Structure 1
Amino acid sequence: MRTINWSDNGHIILTDQTKLPKECATIECNDVDTLAEAIRSLRVRGAPALGVAGGFGIALAAQTSRARSQRDLIRDIEHAAEVLRNTRPTAVNLFWGIERVLKKTKTGRSVHQMKELALEEARKMADEDVEICKRIGEHGAKLLEDGDVIMTYCNAGRMACVDWGTAIGVIRSAIGQGKRIKVIACETRPLNQGSRITAWELLQDDVQVILITDNMVGHVVKSGMADKIIVGADRIVEDAVFNKIGTYTLSIIAKEHKIPFYVAAPMSTFDFEKRAADIEIEERSPQELKYFGDEQIAPLEVEVYNPAFDATPMENITAIITENGVFHPPFSFKDIRGKES
């Protein structure tokens, strides 16, 4: 099942992740504004999925444009790109996907060809994402041993990608090789992507999973219940990995108790031009902490700090697993960039 796809009637089809685990439903985006809302509200989320969503968003803008000239079509897709860029600032894949399809579209020599190229490139990105995730899984599976208990955080599974997943893809690949793997999923407050999505995904695949609250991590790791931790990433810069808020805390606990802390991500998640201090961390609505669903759980007048991501320093990371192989410290961005496919 693909979490994002192009429909026969020329629209984007997304799995609505806000409905999980109670319901596995889809939504149809027939214009860029609808897609932008889906990104902001986390109906579609996860760095690789956002990259493909950005690409399909440009393709959708091209297909629905009434422009008769190349100049006017470029104006329309550039406007769509700006709308999509303004949805979420931290995950670099979104910007990468937008730019990739924009660049390809502009090579067309007619309005018709530009529209064809936009959709062709977006579909190519979706297909590539599945293959890239499986390559990440193959490389990462070599790091897991039969009988391992793996802790993971947030959701870096098929719902965060087009299919298969990054961190969860490593687990899937290891199980596919015959290794017996159990998983500990952290609930991941405040929106519970770990409990709502990761636990649901793993149960769909008959993988043994134990759900814990985020504040149990230290106790669980200290007690020897987890052998390794694997997480995904939303942006990797030279001195840090940006991922769901709380990832940094897990890395500290892993380092203290001397268990491996792995990051699994595609090369498109690397930002070779910036450092941690340059990155804007998205802050989300205070309502996410004041309400649980429709139920008020905090005083409405209380001040809230709600960053979506944090930065884990490279010295806390055991290895970064990509489609081009596994990179170990000291992480040389020059060498990593040299292996871009």
Structure 2
Amino acid sequence: MLFAINATLVALVAIMTLLPLSRYPAWWVRDMDFPRLQIVIFALSVLLFQWLVLGLEERIDRVLNLVTLACLIYQLFWILPYTRIFPSEVKVGTLKGKGERIRILSSNVLEPNRNAQGLIDLIRQNNPDVVVTLETNHWWQEQLSVLEKDYPYTIKCPLENLYGMHVFSRYPLEDCATQFLVQPDIPSMHAMLVLPSQRRIRLHFLHPAPPSPTENDESTQRDAELLIVAKSVTKLDTPVIVAGDLNDVAWSATTRLFRKISGLLDPRVGRGMFNTFHAGHWFMRWPLDHFFHSSHFTLSFIKRLPAFGSDHFPVMVELIYDESAVEEQEGLSANAHDMEISEEKIHAEPVSPEKVHEPH
């Protein structure tokens, strides 16, 4: 009986570990990228069961123990960069020049949520320079209009399909565009922000649909949108920030590929996971809301803000422009195999990097 229980538990650990190795885009495969932390905890529990209950006297038990341990080590490979024991990818910065700082707050509000005042209070308490909201419809647009006194530069796309998007900025936004890059009802926003120092920063805000039984059966649409934006910002001299709810975890193969292709940095690496979803379930959380930026920036801070009724926690980052950091910071690099996979994922949808608006 104990052997059957052990074999079943090890089989579950192995299946959850091996499924994401496949490039098959079905939602039930790709969603196994998400709970890697939970799988680590599960695998550790299985190891304790094997050591304390079984004793590992039989050869088959030792084999199952090694399988569990191998799965645990593999899962740790993906999530350890998002812990403090890993070196930070982005250096800590201090403000040197006037007006060279940008503070961005990103929040998926959950469209049916009616606690708009809770978000407004968080914005006023934390004083961001730019606010990007996701899942905002016409009701949310009306409620958030009170922000426009302090944030006069806006981009608005209210939708009733859980994919509305708004940007509010205290600094000028130029050459703005709202695009529907992959799906006709899923917007993205692109703009050039001008800091008080006259520094120009290219912004891209995204919220692709996730692979799920209620959304897209496969991850091809999400992956294609992320990768065409990644290719559009590769090797730019202009400072770049890409942010939003990407409906993908920081440690997935697709997000890692996005980082390789774009060359952008992740301020969470070496600092923490900053899990933003699900705000209502402490045992099932993962990092879905992201900030990626070019090596022009160092980090003042990144933090998760309190919940206000949404299923996502808001998250805020403060970046500091530091030209000297360009040569000192380096993210992941793409090899020929990465480029091949990227092209394959992009070509799965009728899109291309040339479609992405390039603000000037």
Q: Name the TM-score, length of structure 2 as normaliser.
A: 0.30
Higher Rg: 2
Q: Name the TM-score, length of structure 1 as normaliser.
A: 0.31
More helix by share: 1
